A and B are shown apart, each in its own frame.
Chain A
């Protein structure tokens, strides 16, 4: 029976792969961010054969956020060069592969958390169905940056739980640096280094190393005269409180969005806060999650853009970025404190 369940769950995961590939074929270039930010710059780089394109310095293109890190435009440029022409479909087809890698790592982390094969597949399937993930994997949002951060964070978690701490700090520093060159908030993942067991000096050295790519890009922008279209400022105590309230309410509203997250967030609250906690999970995913969430939400509180307009459109992608951490925390708590999933699987076995 377990074997039949495993085959069924693998079939459901493969179905999702087909679903996102179908989405890339049917709905390419539907995301304005992909058109106006990431592939616009890739196209400019391909056309002008240089990194600092006229687009990055032209106020007319300020909507493309010239200050954003250059990794994804580089990737697009590389794909265009390899094909000798601009063909977005070739770039977008990378995204189902990213999705597949994310699901493989999700399964790997679940196994490292000592879930059985069937339960790990079930948890991977449940995670694979979140709409913001499916969207960026190919359903109308392929080409965006957030899913790359999701991939990087799953890789960090997998390496942490694989227990190879010898070179873990330097690998996580490398991954964190790469994340910061995809989207600026990726730099917050450098906090993960602080929670890898080891000497304090080592932690500080590798955290500084993780910050280096971010600092280099900031310096490059100054040297090349690339202006940001928005920045951060201290809104004052009253303004800050008002913006913070909007951010918290916006987040709560998104968490209640059943189309995106089903009933995950209420279940998450029950799994982590409800009832007695028999055993606390290892101190990695949860503290990193809390630090990154505080950093992201803090940035929105201090941003120059009106928070009401901007935040509501960003909450789902922020939650997607953080999903490796909160899904791991959920799976950890479920493992040590609840038999809910095991009970569900037993019911399924009895039913079929």
Chain B
């Protein structure tokens, strides 16, 4: 259990690093930034198409 607890403390230090790093970064994948079906250039996976459906609520991206 000592090793376990020690690993957790190391991970907590990692958390501090990430918090500081993320403070200066911009958020990604906000709702407003999810592109509509019209932007076909970066569409690849079915998963992304689902995200597009989320944005457009029904607009089909089948033509992509």
Q: How many A-B residue pairs have CB under 8 A?
A: 93
Which residue of chain A has the shortest Cβ distance to B11 in the bound complex? A129
Q: How near does chain A come to B13, taking the closest CB pair, in angstroms?
A: 9
Interface segment, one of A23-31, A189-197, A200-208, A306-314: A23-31
Interface string of A110-152 (1 = CB under 8 A from B): 0000000000001001100100000000000000000000000
A12 pairs with B12, CB closer than 8 A: yes
**Per-residue 0/1 for B11-43: is the Cβ within 8 Å of any A Cβ (1 yes, 0 no)?**
110011011001101011111001000000000
User: What residue in chain A is nearest B13 (Cβ atoms)?
Assistant: A15
Query: Which residues from B are CB-within-8-Å of A35?
Result: 34, 50-51, 54
Q: Is the CB of B19 within 8 A of A262?
A: no
Q: Are B4 and A18 in contact (CB under 8 A)?
A: no
B9 to A: closest C-beta gap in Å: 8
Q: Is the CB of A32 within 8 A of B29?
A: no
A228 in the interface (beta carbon within 8 A): no
Given contacts A36-B50, A63-B50, A344-B1, contact A25 B57 (CB under 8 A): no
- Name the contact of A344 in the complex, choosing from B5, B25, B30, B51 (C-beta under 8 A): B5
Q: Which residues of B have CB within 8 Å of A277?
A: none
A22, A32, A43, A263 — most chain B CB neighbours (10 Å):
A22
Question: Which residue from A30, A54, A263 sits with its C-beta under 8 Å from B4?
Answer: A263
Residues facing B in A13-51 (CB within 8 A) are 15-16, 18-19, 22-23, 25-30, 32, 35-36, 39-40, 43-44, 47
Query: Closest Cβ of chain B: how far from A352's Cβ, in Å?
Result: 12
B27 adjacent to A126 (CB under 8 Å): no
Q: Is the CB of B8 within 8 A of A126?
A: yes
Query: Do A262 and B7 touch across chains, with their CB atoms under 8 A apart?
Result: yes
- Structural contact, B12 and A29, CB atoms closer than 8 A: no
Q: Are B4 and A264 in contact (CB under 8 A)?
A: yes
Q: Which of A27, A32, A87, A348 contacts B28 (CB 8 A)?
A: A27
A328 to B30, CA, bound (A): 37
Verify if A89 is at the interface (C-beta below 8 Å from B): yes
Task: Report which A residues bind B (CB closer than 8 A).
Answer: 12, 15-16, 18-19, 22-23, 25-30, 32, 35-36, 39-40, 43-44, 47, 54-55, 58, 60-61, 63, 86-89, 122, 125-126, 129, 262-264, 267, 340-341, 344, 347-348
Set of chain B residues within 8 Å of A28, measured between Cβ atoms:
27, 29-31
> B residues within 8 A CB of A25?
22, 27
Instruction: Write out the residue numbers on chain B whose beta carbons fall within 8 Å of the beta carbon of A32.
Output: 47, 50-51
Contact with A18, one of B11, B19, B28, B57 (Cβ below 8 angstroms): B19
Shortest C-beta distance, A99 to chain B (Å), equals: 13
A267 touches B51 (CB 8 A): no
Chain B residue, CB-CB nearest to A13: B12
Rounded to whole Å, the gap between the CB of B36 and the closest CB of chain A is 14
B51 touches A36 (CB 8 A): yes
Instruction: With A19-B19, A26-B25 as known contacts, state yes or no: A262 contacts B8, CB within 8 Å.
Output: yes
